C-alpha cells in the first residue's frame, strides 16, 4: 500500500492515484455482460441454468425458493442472530419512515393549483450479492424501503450456495422484511432476468442493489434499454476513503480500511492524512490485523491497489475527497462535525472516532446501498424516493385560465408551437363567447 506525497504528483499521477481498479478494462467487461444479457433475453431459464452451473457450480431443479426452504432457513439462525436482524430492521425502518413526505399543494394564483403526489413503483427487483460473503444486510436495506413504499410486487434474487440453497440469513432477513418471492440467481444474469423476465422470474420496472463490476455493468446496460428496467444507481465494488489527522488512532483507521477491503479483491480503500507517523503506524496495523482476520487473501489482493495519500492540510484532504467522491467517507479528525460543511460528494459520511462504517452497513439506520466509481458526485444513496414516483398534478378553473392563459400563449408563440397556443386559445374563445364554462 504505497504512501504518496500529493504535492509531488503531476496532474496525471494524481488522476492515477484516484483511479478505481474496476474502471480498468471497462469496454471488455461491458461486451461480456452484453452477451450474457442477450443470451438471457433469447433463451430465458435455459440460459440461467447454464450460467448458474458455470458461475455458481450448481445445477438447480428450480430457481424460486420454496416454503420449505424458507422454514429451513429460519432454523439455521440462533436467537442472538435473529434478534440482531430484528433490531437492524427496526432501525432501518424508523429512519426510512421519517423520509416519507406529504403531498404538496400550492395555489399559484387564484384558480391555478399545482400538486405533487407519490406513487409506489409497481414492480421492483432486489439484488443481494453472495459472492465473497452473503449479505443479509443488503436484503434489509432493499426490502425495508420497498415495503414502506408499498411496492405491490417485490422480488429478490441472490446467488445459490454450492448445495443449491440460498443463504439462510439472507432468506430470513428477506422474509422478516416482507419478501415472499426469492430466486436463486446471481450476477449479471440475475439483473437480465429481472429486467426482461423469464418463464420463472417476473419482469420488474426497476432493479436495486449492490454488486460486483459485472452486476453494475448489467444494471447500466438494461437501464439504457426501453424494454429493460431502470436502475437505482451505479453501486459496484465497495470503497472507503478515510481522512485522518494526528488525533486519529492507527488501529481504528486500519480496521476501517480492512472492513471495506474484505468485500472483494476489487474493493478500494484510501487513506488521506496530514500525519506521517499515522501513515506508518497504519501500515503496521494493517499487517498485524490482516494476519488475524479470516479473509486475509482477499484483504491482501484489495490492499494492492489501495493508497495512502499525504497532504499538507485537511483543507486539501477534503478537496481530494470531493473529487474522488467516495462511497463511504470516514472523518477521523479533531472536531469532525465542524468539517461537515466542506463535504460535497460522498455516499455516506461517518463522523468521529466512534463511528465505524460497519454501523452504517448493518444497523445504525441509514441505507448502505450507495453510489461508487465517483458517481456520488451526482447520485445519492438509496432512500425512500427511489421506490416512489413523484407525480405532478395541475388544475385550473375558468378564471385561472383567463388569468394565466395569455402567459402560456406568449411562450408558445416564442417557440413557434402554434398548436400549443391553440389549445389555450380555443378555451379562452369559448369563455369569451359564453361568459362561463
Query: What is the per-residue DSSP string for 362-389?
Result: HTSSS------TTGGGT-----GGGGEE
Burial tier of 337 (Cβ tally within 10 Å: 0-12, 13-18, 19+): exposed
- The secondary structure element, H or E, covering residue 240 is strand 239-244
Pairing of strands 268-273, 307-310: parallel
What SS3 state is found at 37? helix
Spatial contact of 215 and 191, defined as CB atoms under 8 Å apart: yes
* Catalytic position from the list 262, 327, 357, 368: 327
Residue found by looking up cell 378555451 in the block: 427
Question: What cell numbers appear for 409 in the block?
Answer: 400563449
122, 379, 125: which is closest to 236 by C-alpha?
Answer: 379
DSSP 137-165: HHHHHHHHHHHHHT-SEEEEE----TTSP
- Told to judge if 328 belongs to the known catalytic residues of this protein, a careful annotator would answer yes
Within 8 A by CB and 6+ apart from 371, the residues are: 233, 234, 235, 325, 327, 347, 378, 379, 380, 381
Residue 83 neighbours by CB under 8 Å, 6+ apart: none
What's the rounded Cα separation, in Å, for the pair 199 and 133? Answer: 29
Exposed/middle/buried for 288, CB within 10 Å: 0-12, 13-18, 19+? exposed
Residue of 263, 305, 328, 368 marked active site: 328
Q: Is residue 368 among the annotated active site residues?
A: no
Compute the CA torsion angle 242, 248, 254, 259 (nearest 10 deg).
-60
Cβ(319)–Cβ(298) under 8 Å? no
The whole-angstrom separation of Cα 343 and Cα 329 is: 9
Is residue 81 classed exposed, middle or buried when 0-12, 13-18 and 19+ CB atoms within 10 A define those classes?
Answer: middle
Residue 156 bridge partners (DSSP):
126, 182
The single residue listed with the C-alpha cell 414492480 is: 123
Closest CA to 185 of 163, 157, 213: 157
Active site residues: 327-328
Amino acid at each position: 500500500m504505497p504512501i504518496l506525497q500529493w504535492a509531488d504528483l503531476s496532474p496525471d499521477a494524481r488522476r492515477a492515484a484516484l483511479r478505481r481498479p474496476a474502471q480498468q478494462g471497462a469496454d471488455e467487461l461491458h461486451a461480456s455482460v452484453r452477451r450474457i444479457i442477450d443470451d438471457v433475453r433469447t433463451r430465458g431459464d435455459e440460459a440461467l441454468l447454464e450460467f448458474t452451473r458455470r458461475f455458481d457450480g450448481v445445477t438447480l431443479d428450480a430457481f424460486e425458493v420454496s416454503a420449505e426452504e424458507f422454514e429451513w432457513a429460519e432454523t439455521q439462525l440462533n436467537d442472538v442472530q435473529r434478534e440482531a436482524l430484528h433490531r437492524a430492521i427496526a432501525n432501518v425502518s424508523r429512519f426510512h419512515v421519517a423520509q416519507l413526505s406529504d403531498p404538496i399543494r400550492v395555489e399559484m394564483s387564484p384558480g391555478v393549483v399545482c400538486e405533487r403526489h407519490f406513487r409506489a413503483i409497481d414492480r421492483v427487483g432486489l439484488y443481494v450479492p453472495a459472492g465473497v460473503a452473503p449479505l443479509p444486510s443488503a436484503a434489509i436495506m432493499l426490502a425495508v424501503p420497498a415495503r414502506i413504499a408499498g411496492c405491490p410486487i417485490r422480488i429478490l434474487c441472490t446467488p445459490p450456495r454450492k448445495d443449491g440453497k440460498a443463504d439462510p440469513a439472507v432468506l430470513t432477513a428477506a422474509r422478516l422484511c416482507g419478501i415472499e418471492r426469492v430466486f436463486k440467481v446471481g450476477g449479471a444474469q440475475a439483473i437480465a432476468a429481472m429486467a426482461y423476465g423469464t418463464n420463472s422470474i417476473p419482469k420488474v420496472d426497476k432493479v436495486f442493489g449492490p454488486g460486483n463490476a459485472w452486476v453494475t455493468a448489467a444494471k447500466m446496460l438494461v437501464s439504457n434499454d426501453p424494454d429493460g428496467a431502470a436502475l437505482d444507481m451505479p453501486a459496484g465494488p465497495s470503497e472507503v476513503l478515510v481522512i485522518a489527522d494526528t488525533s486519529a488512532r492507527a488501529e481504528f483507521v486500519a480496521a476501517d480500511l480492512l472492513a471495506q477491503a474484505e468485500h472483494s479483491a476489487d474493493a478500494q480503500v484510501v487513506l488521506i492524512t496530514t500525519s506521517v507517523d499515522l501513515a506508518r503506524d497504519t501500515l503496521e496495523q494493517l499487517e498485524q490485523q490482516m494476519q488475524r482476520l479470516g479473509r486475509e487473501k482477499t484483504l491482501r489482493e484489495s490492499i494492492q491497489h489501495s493508497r495512502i495519500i499525504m497532504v499538507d492540510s485537511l483543507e486539501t484532504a477534503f478537496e481530494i475527497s470531493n473529487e474522488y467522491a467516495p462511497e463511504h467517507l470516514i472523518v477521523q479528525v479533531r472536531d469532525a462535525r465542524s468539517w461537515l460543511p466542506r463535504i460535497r460528494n460522498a455516499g455516506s459520511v461517518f463522523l468521529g472516532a466512534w463511528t465505524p462504517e460497519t454501523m452504517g452497513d448493518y444497523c445504525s439506520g441509514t441505507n448502505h446501498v450507495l453510489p461508487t466509481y465517483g458517481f456520488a458526485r451526482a447520485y445519492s444513496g438509496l432512500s425512500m424516493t427511489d421506490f416512489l414516483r413523484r407525480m405532478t398534478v395541475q388544475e385550473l378553473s375558468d378564471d385561472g385560465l383567463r388569468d394565466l392563459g395569455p402567459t402560456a400563449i406568449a411562450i408558445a408563440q416564442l417557440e413557434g408551437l402554434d398548436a400549443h397556443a391553440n389549445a389555450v386559445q380555443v378555451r379562452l374563445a369559448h369563455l369569451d363567447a359564453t361568459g362561463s364554462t
